Amino acid sequence: MSSPGSNGVKTISKIKTGPFAGRRVGGGTRRYVYGNRYYGCGYPGRPAYCTVVGRDLSFYYPPVVWIDPSGTYSGRYPYNGQEYPTNSTRLGGQLMTLQLQSNQTYSPPTVLHVLADNATLISLNKSITSKCKQYLGPRTMILQYNGTGGPFPEQVAQYYRGSSVALTVDGYNNTAALIYVNNMTQAPALLPPTIDLTLLNCVNSTIGANVPLVAMEPPWYKTVIGIIGLLGLIFFAIILGIAFVYMFCSCQRSMPKRVKRSLARDDSTELSVAEHPESTLPRTTSPVDPPAYFEPETEGLLKAHSGPMSTDAGDAPWKQMEGYSPRT
């Protein structure tokens, strides 16, 4: 079971059957969900070892598979992930792309793509359109990925979840991502200066915080304890309800006698007061003096700031925050 709120599975186990038998799964948590711009990098425990061939599935999800329709780069990094399925047999379903466009008037317009399985993209589409809607244009759609027309591996700005999710930027050309180097020491190319970085940062942080991860199933004994606790809570609520009904019925049966005794006491009190018209008994219904009215302390505040307001940044440390620019 996967969900955006899951933190992943810390426990590592072995796959016993299927095409990935013998490989380990688990160990990937949200803390390690960010990779980098190179295919196969960013796995927990092996951050600089960049390959997808024969890799363990730390997040259970297989990496994306880059398709080369022409066959020119087939089998070469990063088009060497053919051991993983691209159809509905992969976890989460067929590989799809989510296309996002900025609502800002950049030339050319900023267009992003998210490449992942179908279930992941449906979930991310809800999160991104909710958290980044003020930056998005009208062209937001999910399309089937077949390698034709992009996205391409050299356009990747960020991999996530063991290279099973990729965020690309149209017009970005990081040729270093096409050359396999074991430790990936070569710095990636800079992003184009004419892209909407506000949208890119919003989408990047939203994916990192909301990309679905496989949830850890609780041990069987915790499930049993939870069921027993729930049944005990229900039983306690039933007993409490029965006791409340019993007490309420008892009060209803004894109410007439109590009312009579109370009325009798009130009549005797009224007679004793009537017999002594000059009685000086204190009145219990006399009004209470209202509390003192507190004036707003505007005078004291004015005295505290009677001098000219300083514009020195030393008097306002919040102005020294990096990147601060007051709104006009």
Task: Check whether 88 has a pLDDT greater than 70.
Answer: yes
The partner residues of 24 in beta bridges, in order of sequence, read 14
**Residue 274: what pLDDT?**
44
**Residue 114: what pLDDT?**
98
185, part of any domain: yes
44, part of any domain: yes
Number of independent structural domains in the chain = 1
Confidence of residue 180 (pLDDT cuts 50, 70, 90): confident
Task: Check whether 310 has a pLDDT greater than 80.
Answer: no
Residue 108, preceding peptide bond in cis (omega within 30° of 0):
yes
Confidence of residue 157 (pLDDT cuts 50, 70, 90): very high
Domain that holds residue 194: 2-214
Task: Check whether 67 has a pLDDT greater than 60.
Answer: yes
Quote the pTM value.
0.66
Of 170-179, 198-207, 262-271, the least confident: 262-271
Q: Tell me the range of 5-9, 145-149, 213-217 where mean pLDDT is highest.
A: 145-149
60, part of any domain: yes
Given a contact cutoff of 8 angstroms between Cβ atoms, the answer to whether 157 and 37 are in contact is yes
253, part of any domain: no
Q: How many residues does the chain have?
A: 328
Query: Strands 156-160, 165-169: parallel, antiparallel or unpaired by DSSP?
Result: antiparallel
User: What does pLDDT average to over the chain?
Assistant: 78
223, part of any domain: no
